[in-house]
Copies of this chain bind each other. A is one copy, B any other.
Amino acid sequence: MKTFSLTIAALLATNTYAADLLPSWNDTAPRKAIIAFVERVTKAGAPGFVPVAERIATFDNDGTLWAEQPIYVQFHFALDRVKALALQHPEWQKKEPFRKLLTTPKEQNVAVSEHELMEIIMATHAGLTTAEFEQIVTDWISTAKHPKTGRLYTEMVYQPMLELLAYLRANGFKTFIVSGGGIEFMRPWTEKVYGIPPEQVIGSSGKTKFEMRAGQPVLVKLPEIDFIDDKEGKPVGIQQHIGRRPIAAFGNSDGDLQMLQWTAAGRGPRFCLYVHHNDAAREWAYDRKSHIGTLDKAWDEAIAKGWTVVSMKDDWKTIFPK
């Protein structure tokens, strides 16, 4: 994965930091639109200028920053947790949805409902302290591999999006993740992989409880949902965590629509972008009828409103880091 280092001198020398930071983008409409937007909001004294403090950009994670096919990464994680904990839970051999997870061959997809997924996550996460959970995620993410490519999941991130994150930050933006995924599943690795610190990660969460264990304070994960950061939940999560409206938002599915609507409805320059997965050769091709990352209503709205739609096939030179 490429890294970008910026010197203070370089930042001071120019208003807009070089768009050379987008080398994996073809010079098609999306790249031009991104650069035009950034130049507009960073030009001091011009009508579209936005102060640094208000340069908030929010990114969905699954399907926007990293691959979500053939299954959500967190689902793979939860599946591995079920297997790791199966000996302690003999009742799972007979109890759905655990039974089917434990008996289906690894290469085969297991259909689980959203409700079942929650049940799995709760059963495998609850009771752990936040510190224990962080360690489990850290260990897992450093070794778990994508079922198709065999690469680490942290290498299944989109190189053009990494460049976009860096380009925005170089121009004074604060970049946030706003994902339906678990907030504590993402935080252990987002700083290293995306340059996004834990305090700029918003996601779904379970409730936790403060308690003393052997004289030491801990936060224990409870088997109770606190917040679902998806669809209508995304603007709610943004308001709760950031307290101001983004000026730029990036997504890939109908689950991101409300975040983009919320972003677009603010005053002044706004930038909304959808990633369209249409590259079956280099990644996956799916949209209106997909169960994962459905892009249907949001696609229509993006077109109607003139939002930027990235064709992965045509607009990106590279998909994954070399």
Contacts and interface: CB of A to CB of B under 8 A. Distances in A.
Contact of A209 (B8, B53, B130, B236): B236
Contact of A243 (B53, B183, B236): B183
Contacts of A8: 8
Contacts of A265: 216-217
Interface stretch (A17-25, A67-75, A101-109, A193-201): A193-201
A288 interface: no
Given A205-B240, A258-B210, A262-B210, A217 B197 contact: no
Contacts of A130: 239
Interface string A179-195: 00001100100010000
Nearest to A243: B198
Q: How large is the interface on A (under 10, 10 to 19, 20 to 34, 35 or more residues)?
A: 35 or more
Contacts of A187: 243
Contacts of A197: 53
Given A53-B191, A217-B262, A261-B217, A198 B244 contact: yes
A241 B241 contact: yes
A258 B205 contact: no
A53 B195 CA distance: 11
Contact of A241 (B199, B235, B239, B258): B199
Contacts of A241: 199, 241
A219 B199 CA distance: 22
Interface string A4-21: 000010000000000000
B208 A242 contact: no
A203 to B, nearest CB: 10
Interface in A142-180: 174
A1 to B, nearest CB: 19
Contacts of A243: 183-184, 187, 198-199, 201
Contacts of A216: 265
Contact of A232 (B56, B210, B240): B210
Contact of A210 (B200, B236, B244): B236
24 contacts: A53-B191, A53-B197, A56-B199, A130-B239, A174-B199, A183-B240, A183-B243, A187-B243, A198-B242, A199-B200, A199-B242, A205-B240, A208-B239, A210-B236, A210-B258, A211-B232, A216-B265, A217-B235, A217-B261, A217-B262, A217-B265, A219-B235, A219-B239, A241-B241
Given A198-B244, A199-B200, A205-B240, 7 more contacts: A8-B8, A184-B243, A198-B243, A199-B242, A210-B233, A217-B261, A226-B240
> Closest 8 CB pairs between A and B?
A198-B243, A210-B232, A187-B243, A199-B242, A217-B261, A210-B235, A217-B262, A217-B265
